[in-house]
A and B are shown apart, each in its own frame.
Chain A
Amino acid sequence: MTDASLMDPVIKDAFLEIANIGIGKSAASMSQLAGKHVAITIPSIDFVRTGERDSFQLMTGTSSTVIVEQRFHGEVVGTAILCLATSGALKLASMLLGEELHQDAFGEMEQGALLELGNIMIGGLVGNMSNVLHLHIGYDIPEMQLNGTGKVLTLMQKEGACTVVVNSNLAIESTDVSSFLLLVFGEHEFEALLDKIRSVM
């Protein structure tokens, strides 16, 4: 993988477009599901290479994260991860469930709601990517982890790994929560994805 590919603004724009459309669909699903207006915006997209793994913590600004992880395979193989700061995750879950916020109260209902949210967001992003790029992709069942920073860092620091970092803001009523959607690829898988993007441009 060349640094030039990573820095190419056209590639970045293409990813941003894919993410915006996919996440827009996710927001519509979430709105219908929660019976509340859910808006998700994508302010920026970045690419992070193995050597820059510390930047994950710099980006999230916290060492305590809740993650929903889902592997996908087929013509492109990778792992999609929704990362939320623990406090933000609690706030989101409370909003979705229409309950009063209780710190440290990650019960089954909160976890269930966040798992479903993660599944919808990842599905929107990766689903749209497969539609636009005409890729056949299969999915594993998503998993949730309450203290997921270590797992994310381990994935990101694998030799040759390249991560697409989709910075997103979720707004439900008056609650605004930052999150990151990560797409982690191996070096060859990422090259294959870039080739696909170039071929449809």
Chain B
Amino acid sequence: MELHEHRRTLVVAGNGMVGHKLLEILVERGATAEWDIVTFCEEGRPAYDRVGLSSFFNGTSADELSLVSPGFFDQLGLTIHMGDAVASIDRQSGEVVSDKGLRIPYEAVVLATGSFPFVPPVPGKDTPGCFVYRTLDDLEAIREYAAGCRVGAVVGGGLLGLEAANALRSLGLDTHVVEFAERLMPVQVDEGGGSVLRRRIEDLGVHVHTGMATTEIVTAKSGGVGAMRFKEGDDLPVDLVVFSAGIRPRDQLARDAGLAVGERGGVVVDDACRTSDPKIFAIGECALYGGRIFGLVSPGYQMARVAADRILGGEAAFTGADMSTKLKLMGIDVASFGDAFATEPGNEAITYRDPVANVYKRLVLGPPDRRGDRKVAGGILVGDAAVYQTLLQMCRGDMPSPKHPEELIFPAGSGAAVPAVGVGALPGTAMVCSCNNVDKGTICAAVAAGCDSVGTIKGITKAGTGCGGCVPLVTDILKDEQGKAGVVVANTLCEHFAYSRQELFDIVRVHRITSFSEVLAAHGTGEGCEICKPAVASMLASLANGHILDGERAALQDTNDHFLANLQRDGTYSVVPRVPGGEITPDQLIALGEVAKEFNLYTKITGGQRIDLFGARVDQLPHIWRRLIDAGMESGHAYGKALRTVKSCVGQTWCRFGVQDSTTLAIDLELRYRGLRAPHKIKGAVSGCTRECAEAQGKDFGVIATEKGWNVYVGGNGGVRPKHAELLAANLDRDTVLRYIDRFLMFYVRTADRLERTAVWLDKLEGGIEYLRRVVIDDVLGICAELEADMARHVDTYECEWKAVVDDPERMERFRTFVNSDEQDPNVVFVTERGQIRPAFDHEKADPALLTIGAKP
């Protein structure tokens, strides 16, 4: 790099997100050729992602939160003083003085000192156990102190307060939020949105108190926090308090230096981000522009861009910022944009509220134009913010508003036609990432240049690296551009159907198709194969019971389903009757033993608490089943991609530790879902206490008893890639357990790929468990009633497939080894091992002395 002889010095006070963004922009624009840039960082760590702070409690490390690329401060012309801060600015001599006594003559200064958390002046606010939520050091201190605590409270129910509450929750504390205003997030949402948000947060187990003024923090005997006292009402016993009641600009440097500051704080800046001293700039949360503090990262970055340009002699101007926000608080979507409160003249609001799904949407429309059309002017979305990006683009004028914008907030299927507004409709100039000023055109160019993932787009364009709110939009643009370029990731079932399993399932469901030949003729090619035939057979079975061997469906089944038994390596089958919940009577055990002896079957206990009988020939199967059915047993569907078992422990019925009747619930669940055909096998379990003897967390659905009810887990499995199930919902009553599992299973049946277990399906589900909760608990898709009805139909029409066979001579006739002879397959031969049969290996078949031929009925 060519260095100018006359070098100038720029001092940047503060290395937070905005201060660091300024350094990056200056470096990128080559400022270090002329400038020595000296920055002071008060904290022990250089810039890190404060927006993502709460992820620190979910395992994200301080290093991962860092915004400083490796080697950044090693560049010539850049100096950072860690653990030191600017103490004063001597405008007379043109020097800054640091806490540690450094004196640095400057040509220009940028104040990026940010803000500090406001702590209301209540008695006891400095008691041990009181914290603020601003820096990584704060979080570390909270984590350390929380280890000995049970109850935590956050003072402040705004955006940051709820972030802090989520953090306390993830630390395992019983969490309270105390808000002075009458609703949560009063700055972003209105009353309707606030009440929906409140209900959703309460559903997560967080206690919300609004309209409460904290008057004192009461000290416990231990010397730490003991309780909170309010203007009205009883004391709230707490062990830890986090103050998050807003921010105040850190403007002391400016005050001391005699710069203009606002009445309620903030360094006054003009649209060049200059303070009242033209050599001194202020950006970010310490700056006051147009009488306003901008407490978001995106406007801060815009200010950094303006200040950098001005320092380098440019003319960029800051003219205020869009305070639109969309965030996910505790998994809940909250968005607020434009004139959210309809305060501008002529603007009017339309609201949509679904108290069942707990969704609130408010759309603000501008005044009608001369044709009577109204443009989107703002809005509030709580619980479902899927339309945020579309509405925001319309609000900004990047995209035309449709004729009836209000239809955008009503759910699909409500009768209002929702216009399909894809990202393809966005012009290239549409702003996608306002944190980093990246428009759609830039992203499209990156895709055209070969970026094929969101990660590479982030790396090249920086889109999505600020607050991260635009990542879904970036993803959609990527897919849209790839689609246009013909890059298609095929997920088709097989050569006969150009559809994924989910798409084909919808075709079969929507068109009420009842046969394979019908779907093949209308939507496929060729004759079908061993992939699509069983897949379609499974769909037909999931959508309407009816015997799987009836009519044409018989030809679709895999051999296991065709013979209603499990094919083994030598061509014989194994038989597994259902043992619901693993509970079996002595008489049934004796009957099983007698059948095994009579037909000379090998017996083994399975992992699902049942008994497997091996070595049955095709022609023996109906005779074996006649006996089992007479003994009161039924098909266990071990041969099907279907519900297998619901394992259980004995629960409180016998166990000293059990807190609920796990066996009864397991039996209820197994009988409810028996015979349900699915993309893959399904296993369940119910444990009677947290000791989890039934291993419910290793199952597709698992239920664990608590003192208060039942916790439901989903998406676990053993097998090749073992995976623990994830908690879907806690402390449910029995009926709710059934309802949620009904919905979960049917949603899985509808949407999973062929041979995809719930664990993989859940992994691939965008949004994961949180999205699943929104679908099966909050019903954001509005399909829960349908899913429950599908399951109810299954439960009502279930019949034992084996009983239907042994009762029907025509079906019985299919169970023959040879269609034209009563002889047996001479190649099925057994040897004896540990007192039971097993198939002979080839070398043993040559030695007649070793062989035992299976006894014939």
Asked if A pairs with B, the answer is no
Residues of chain B having any CB pair with chain A under 8 Å: none
Residues of chain A having any CB pair with chain B under 8 Å: none
